[in-house]
Amino acid sequence: MTALTIQNLWKEYGDQIVLESVSLTIAPRAFVALVGPSGCGKTTFLRMLLGQERQTRGTILMDGLPLPPEPGPDRGVVYQRYSVFPHLTALQNVMLGPEFQAARLAGRLWGAKRRALVDKAAALLAEVGLAGAEGKFPAQLSGGMQQRLALAQTLMMRPKLLLLDEPFGALDPGIRTEIHALMRRLWHEHTMTVVMVTHDMREAFALATRVIAFDRPRNRPEERERYGATITNDIAIWPPRVAGRQTIYDADIPASQDDLTRFAIHSGTPRSVAGA
Amino acid sequence: MRLINIHPGKGERFLLAALPFVLLALAYLIGSALRLADNPGDKLLPSLASMGRMIEVMGFTPDKRTGDYLLWTDTAASLFRLWTGLAIATAIALVLGLLNGVLPVARAMLAPFVAFLSMVPPLALLPVLFIVLGLGEVSKIALIVIGVAPILTRDLALTAADLPREQIVKAETLSASSWLIAWRVVLPQVMPRLIDSLRLQLGPAFLFLIAAEAISAEGGLGYRIFLVRRYLSMDIIFPYVIWITLLAVAMDLGLRLIRRRLYPWAGVQA
**Confidence tier at A266 by pLDDT (50, 70, 90):** very low
Q: Do both B146 and B246 map to the same domain?
A: yes
User: For residue B136, which of B218, B28, B202 has the smallest C-alpha distance?
Assistant: B218
Containing domain of residue B122, as a range? 58-264
Q: Do both B36 and B151 map to the same domain?
A: no
pLDDT in tens, B116-156: 988 999 999 889 999 999 888 899 999 999 999 999 999 99
Enumerate the H helices of B134-268 as residue ranges.
137-162, 165-173, 178-180, 187-215, 221-228, 234-262
pLDDT in tens, A119-168: 999 999 998 999 899 999 999 999 999 999 999 999 999 999 999 999 99
Contact B163, B216 (CB under 8 A): no
Per-residue pLDDT of chain B (270 residues; tens, 9 = 90+): 899 999 999 999 999 999 999 999 999 999 999 999 998 888 888 988 899 999 998 888 888 888 888 999 999 999 999 999 999 999 999 999 999 999 999 999 999 999 998 899 999 988 999 999 988 889 999 999 999 999 999 999 999 999 999 999 999 999 999 999 999 999 999 999 999 999 999 999 999 999 999 988 888 999 999 999 998 899 999 999 999 999 999 999 999 999 999 998 887 754
pLDDT of the residue at B266:
87
Inter-chain CB proximity A87 and B265 less than 8 Å = yes
Q: Do both B95 and B212 map to the same domain?
A: yes
Q: Do both B91 and B39 map to the same domain?
A: no
Inter-chain CB proximity A139 and B172 less than 8 Å = no
Q: Do both B83 and B163 map to the same domain?
A: yes
The whole model's pTM is what? 0.84
Q: Do both B39 and B81 map to the same domain?
A: no
Q: Do both B37 and B127 map to the same domain?
A: no
Question: A20: phi > 0 → left, psi -120 to 50 → alpha, else beta; which?
Answer: beta
The minimal CB distance from A139 to the residues B175, B189, B269 is found for B269
pLDDT of the residue at A249:
55
pLDDT of the residue at A147:
93
Lowest mean pLDDT among A16-20, A253-257, B126-130, B209-213: A253-257
Looking at domain A1-74+160-276, its CATH superfamily turns out to be P-loop containing nucleotide triphosphate hydrolases (3.40.50.300)
User: For residue B201, which of B257, B145, B161, B262 has the smallest C-alpha distance?
Assistant: B145
Phi, psi for A146 (deg, rounded to 5): -60, -40
Count of domains observed in chain B? 2
pLDDT at A274 over 50: no
Contacts of B167 in chain A (CB under 8 A): 82, 85
Residue B1 domain flag: no
pLDDT in tens, A209-232: 999 999 888 878 888 778 888 888
pLDDT at A85 over 80: yes
Q: Tell me the nearest-neighbour CA distance from B125 into chain A, angstroms.
A: 40
Q: Do both B41 and B66 map to the same domain?
A: no
Contacts of B104 in chain A (CB under 8 A): none
Number of A/B CB contacts below 8 angstroms equals 80
Q: Do both B226 and B254 map to the same domain?
A: yes
Residue B269 domain flag: no
Inter-chain CB proximity A100 and B268 less than 8 Å = no
What letters, b where the CB count within 10 A reaches 16 and e where it falls short, cover A154-174? bbbbebbbbbbbbbbbebeee
What is the domain-level CATH number for residue B245? 1.10.3720.10
Any CB–CB contact under 8 A between A96 and chain B?
Answer: yes
Residue B117 domain flag: yes
pLDDT of the residue at A256:
46
Any CB–CB contact under 8 A between A120 and chain B?
Answer: no
- Cα B27 to its chain centre, rounded Å, is 28
pLDDT at A259 over 80: no
> What is the ipTM, given to two decimal places?
0.84
Query: Which neighbouring-strand residues pair with A211?
Result: A33, A235
The minimal CB distance from A72 to the residues B166, B175, B183 is found for B175
Determine the average pLDDT of the residues in A31-44. 90
Instruction: Give the best residue of A100, A117, A166 to mutate against chain B (max B CB count within 10 A).
Output: A100
Inter-chain CB proximity A71 and B169 less than 8 Å = yes
Contacts of A97 in chain B (CB under 8 A): 174-175
Residue B259 domain flag: yes
Q: Do both B224 and B184 map to the same domain?
A: yes
Domain residue ranges of chain A, discontinuous segments joined by +: 1-74+160-276, 84-158
pLDDT at A268 over 60: no
Beta-strand relationship, A75-78 and A31-35: unpaired
pLDDT of the residue at A247:
58
Q: Do both B71 and B40 map to the same domain?
A: no
- Cα B77 to its chain centre, rounded Å, is 15
Contacts of B266 in chain A (CB under 8 A): 87
Q: Do both B37 and B148 map to the same domain?
A: no
Q: Taking chain B, what is the end-to-end CA distance rounded to the nearest angstrom?
A: 30
Inter-chain CB proximity A86 and B265 less than 8 Å = yes
pLDDT of the residue at B242:
94
pLDDT of the residue at B134:
87
